């Protein structure tokens, strides 16, 4: 599921002949600057996961708040807090929270979530595919396709440089479609918001794997 959230934020995909389109660069820079200068980034989203191998589709809703290198992610089956050092993953149904420390092999979202708003500057090619009434459609793809688990991601960014949707195609035949229902850069959150509070969940078993 964490790779799904990464797909919401990453800015990638496109044809093999694409370079760094200057028009797309301007849009991405303004999108990135707006997000990184905000006190926090809040997104409420709808997710559709289509498995082309199994021919199944799953739909769910969630929300995420990112502040500097902290985040809180709420999904139907899990709530995840990351305070910049450790991750708490709560499974309410089984009343367990697992505490872990991301390792060097984990993707950028797990160790530095805010960096996802400017990763495109170093490791990806991209182009403006089209301008639609909904917003700018930008395709990006990685400089080294062999080093990542996806083949395509397509973003739609509106005229206010807010993310509207993301399409993320993985190499294993799973396509992820994310629609952003709410996007806010004006809310503030205390540091405690990004830390699991055991007093709020007194019946939960804590499994500390640090």
Q: Given a cut of 70, is residue 1 above it in pLDDT? A: no
pLDDT for residue 4 is more than 60: no
Residues 6+ apart with CB under 8 A from 42: 63, 64, 65, 182, 183, 184, 185, 187
Which residues contact residue 201 at a Cβ distance below 8 angstroms, ignoring those fewer than 6 apart? 90, 95, 97
pLDDT at 5: 44
Where along the chain do its domains lie?
2-208
For residue range 100-133, list pLDDT tens digits in order: 998 765 555 555 666 667 767 777 788 898 988 8
| pLDDT computed for residue 181 by the predictor | 94
pLDDT (tens digit, 9 = 90+) per residue, 158-170? 999 998 988 888 8
Considering the entire predicted model, what is its pTM? 0.81
pLDDT tens-place string over residues 26-57: 998 998 899 889 999 999 999 898 998 889 99
- Name the percent of the chain lying above pLDDT 70: 83
CATH architecture designation of domain 2-208: Clam (2.50)
């Amino acid at each position: 599921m964490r790779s799904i959230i990464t797909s919401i934020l990453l800015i990638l995909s496109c044809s093999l002949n694409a370079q760094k389109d200057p028009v797309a660069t301007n849009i991405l820079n303004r999108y990135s600057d707006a997000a990184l200068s905000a006190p926090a980034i809040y997104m409420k989203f709808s997710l559709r996961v289509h498995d082309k191998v199994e021919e199944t589709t799953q739909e769910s809703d969630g929300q995420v708040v990112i502040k500097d290198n902290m985040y809180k992610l709420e999904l139907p089956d899990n709530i995840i807090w990351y305070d910049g050092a450790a991750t708490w993953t709560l499974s309410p149904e089984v009343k367990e929270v697992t505490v872990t420390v991301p390792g060097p092999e984990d993707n950028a979202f797990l160790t530095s979530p805010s960096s996802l708003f400017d990763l495109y500057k170093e490791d990806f090619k991209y182009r403006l595919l089209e301008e639609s009434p909904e917003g700018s459609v930008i395709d990006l793809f990685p400089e080294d396709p062999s080093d990542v688990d996806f083949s395509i991601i397509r973003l739609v960014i509106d005229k206010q440089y807010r993310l509207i949707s993301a399409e993320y195609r993985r190499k294993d035949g799973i396509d992820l479609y994310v629609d952003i229902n709410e996007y806010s850069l004006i809310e503030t959150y205390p540091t405690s918001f990004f830390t699991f509070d055991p007093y709020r969940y007194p019946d939960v078993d804590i499994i500390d794997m640090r």
